Structure 1
């Protein structure tokens, strides 16, 4: 098949869908892209913006490795199209903190040894930050004992339920829960 250059660095197949202009605010920077409208947010971040911290695990929304924050809410970036997020605020692991200035949740994961191979860690951290925002907003989960209460008790069971969309194949779950608990009890996420 004939191919033509793609402004995002790859190659487009002849007869492919026309490109769509998309403007995203990623990690406090406005980014303008020309994308095939079928491009997932995950692929826009990794392949077009070269933000490789967000991981492609299952590419089916089952593992959570691709979790990012969009307008403050956690989402699986493999399950949404980039064009759907025109003008949205997207925060990836690279936007939470820097190596010399870690986000409190990143620091907690390091201090609690909340990772082993590290592949799922960016998604786990983004999900944990989003999850704590949900708790502060009073959003109950399946495990919330008192759904009418204005304050949610963040038990280990509650944390595990809320983080159940993020899989750690190395099974660092006790340390992940400890990291989240540490931030919830004393740190600022």
Structure 2
């Protein structure tokens, strides 16, 4: 049994989990955070993406003990219903979701991209999101959301 504080969305959370338990399992089952989704369980689809110290990471393939002492941010930690994060707002404004299953990964990956590249080209956005799967085909709207978020964040600065 692995035990210890886990820092999620700015809060310390006491967690008990067997060694090797995925971060995704703890986030969803123990902490009740439903932003990250279970997709493939292999770290290949991106639905489970969270930020670990600001870097996009696949929580289904990351053992919970691997994030000890690090800051984990989920979709729920970005903004609130009344004050969405600029990336969340851009995805809403551009109608970048259909079924919404990939949305968590797309948003979290976009947040990480804009932290390291505040004004990405379309090619940079495509490359950053290339490992996030979307079956509904809203790729053009997603790319528009990335650019809209970049612009909104630049205007805020």
TM-score by length of 1: 0.78
Which structure 2 residue ranges, 5 or more long, are not aligned?
none
Provide the residue aligned with 2:100 in structure 1.
118
User: 1:88 Cα shift?
Assistant: 1.1
Equivalent-residue separation in structure 2 for 1:135 and 1:96 (angstroms):
18
8 Å Cα contact 1:22/1:82 also seen in 2: no
User: 1:58 Cα shift?
Assistant: 0.5
TM-score by length of 2: 0.93
Highest RCO, 1 vs 2 (Cα 8 Å, sep ≥ 6): 2
Q: Which has the larger Rg? A: 1
Q: Secondary structure at the match of 1:130?
A: helix
Q: Secondary structure at the match of 1:32?
A: strand
| 1:35 correspondence with 2:1 | no
Provide the residue aligned with 2:124 in structure 1.
158
Provide the residue aligned with 1:10 in structure 2.
none
8 Å Cα contact 2:24/2:59 also seen in 1: yes
- Count the aligned residue pairs: 155
CA displacement 1:29-79 (0-9 Å, x = unmatched): 100111101100111101111111110001111110000001111101111
8 Å Cα contact 1:20/1:83 also seen in 2: yes
Provide the residue aligned with 2:114 in structure 1.
132
CA RMSD after TM alignment:
1.4
Structure 1 stretches of 4+ with a deviation exceeding 3 A read none
Equivalent-residue separation in structure 2 for 1:32 and 1:88 (angstroms):
14
Query: Whose helix fraction is larger, Structure 1's or Structure 2's?
Result: 2
